Amino acid sequence: MKKVNFFDTTLRDGEQSAGVNLTQKEKLEIAKQLERLGMDVIEAGFPASSKGDLKSVQEIARTVRSSSVTGLARSVQSDIDAAWEALKDGAHPRLHVFIATSPIHRQYKLKMTEDEVIEHAVRSVQYASKYFPTIQWSAEDACRTELPYLAKIVEKVIDAGANVINIPDTVGYITPQEYGKIFEYLKNNVPNIDRVILSAHCHDDLGMAVVNSLSAIEHGAGQVEGTINGIGERAGNAALEEVAVALHIRKDHFQAETNIQFQEIKRTSDLVSKLTGMIVPPNKAVVGKNAFAHESGIHQDGVLKEKTTYEIISPELVGVTTNNLVLGKHSGRHAFRVKLQELGFQLEESVMNQLFHSFKQLSERKKELTEEDLVALVLEEQLKGDEGTYELVSLQVNYGTEGVPTATVTLNDQVGQIIQEAATGNGSVEAIYNTLERCMKQSITLLDYRIQSNSSGRDALAQVYVKVRVDDVETGGRGIAQDVLEASAKAYINAVNRAILMNHTKSKKVQPTL
């Protein structure tokens, strides 16, 4: 069995998904869950893009101890300096540095000759080796690069000090057979290739990211990169949970093992989905809600007689449970604390006390409380506005089939003053959003609105996701409440608050892609 390392870039490449803007608290929560999942490497962000991103990567590096935390850098000295500042306190600091190598990128983006690209790549790796014990070097758009030139630059950067060589399919163009041949070519034509780990990073533009990643492993890759739920630029990245389960279920074929803790897969998928607002399709492999559902009578009969007739993956393997009723209104503080710890949340005492108070209030209204409800409580606490943002005080909506929907909203504004406004709309949600826009005194365009239940039952919590444009900033927001209208208001306010913070930090000033 060969060991395959898993490199997660949910917090970097995944966050570049359109409309996804994670706060520092949310990034840290995801990073801690990725550590529990068993990720070998967590790419926490791009430190040089802004002070906010640097601080976020720094906090993750100081918190996560079992996984190696890395940050992305261009082949620029200032990028490498920013990455070292963010990562130097990590338990296993490493740098991920890249430069484009394909003819189209050399000519139109970099405007460099072949030799100039090699010179920049070698110089950046040599400089980084003064600080970082582990350096990963990536050839952006490697799959459209001439193979002799790719082999030449790879040999040079290995001599310069690179420990991991990443071969990205940046635009999701290559086929599995072609991708495998690239790894074979490098193994046969780079004299010092035995000194490094080869890594695969695949995008899903043609729907082949997972199968390309598996092909790379078959042809010598010792590391695979991707994101949870396959989120990312354009059509996204390879879904790491699918790659991990494929390696496990077909261990007879791939002869590979990983550090992935499979029982944490579903929980990780749910957390990423909730925090990013990117809903997992029901039919998605491994983590979709229909992944273990059997509708056909023939299938149902077979599964009842012997599960393996139609079920090659057991739900329990990836952490799917059929009954996760955990707490009720008579549960005490200790049981509540223990359950949150079991779910992976390590919270300060003040936050725990506030959550327990919210839990007691919810348990008076909701008869059955599930793990999903407890996670929603924690996320609701994270939704509370940072200093300098809007906060919902009260909401009143009047609606009738014969009348005009009217909303009255009271907010705390950015300087702590109370604002109260009322407005009408063609529906209740439009009335709420018209009122909020009047409260905030700025032009806000609603780009998307989605609602789903947190679990089953009439008393399930409602989760609303919105995407808005405030001035020239597009961002998403989410809201959680038992009432769908309250959740709608909270989602809208959350999105505007994120836009305000983005304007302050400019956290997406520079976002490269691999």
Q: What is the pLDDT of residues 117-131, one digit of tens each?
A: 999 999 999 999 999
pLDDT tens for residues 239-269?
999 999 999 999 999 999 999 999 999 999 9
Give the whole-angstrom CA distance, residue 486 versus residue 141.
46
CB 2 within 8 A of CB 256: yes
Give the whole-angstrom CA distance, residue 479 versus residue 488.
6
Three-state helix/strand/coil letters over 103-138: HHHHHHHHCCCHHHHHHHHHHHHHHHCCCCCEEEEE
Tell me which of 386 and 304 has the higher pLDDT: 304
Whether pLDDT at 314 is above 80: yes
pLDDT tens for residues 352-366?
888 898 888 888 887
Q: What is the largest CA-CA distance in the chain?
A: 79
Count the residues in the chain.
Answer: 514
Domain boundaries, the chain: 2-276, 391-505
Angle at 358 between CA 356 and CA 364, to 5 degrees: 105
Closest CA to 215 of 180, 242, 182, 184: 180
pLDDT tens for residues 128-154?
999 999 999 999 999 999 999 999 999
The pLDDT, as a whole number, for residue 473 is 86
Mean pLDDT for 190-211 is 98
Domain 2-276 has CATH 3.20.20.70: yes
DSSP, res 88:
T
The pLDDT, as a whole number, for residue 57 is 98
The pLDDT, as a whole number, for residue 488 is 97
Mean pLDDT for 214-243 is 98
Whether pLDDT at 297 is above 70: no
The pLDDT, as a whole number, for residue 27 is 96
Structure tokens given for 173: 């163009």
In whole numbers, what is the pLDDT of the chain averaged over residues?
91
Tell me the CATH number of domain 391-505, given options 3.40.50.410, 3.30.160.270, 3.30.43.10, 3.40.50.300: 3.30.160.270
- pTM as predicted: 0.91
Tell me which of 55 and 501 has the higher pLDDT: 55
The pLDDT, as a whole number, for residue 502 is 80
The pLDDT, as a whole number, for residue 334 is 86
The pLDDT, as a whole number, for residue 439 is 95
The amino acid at residue 429 is V
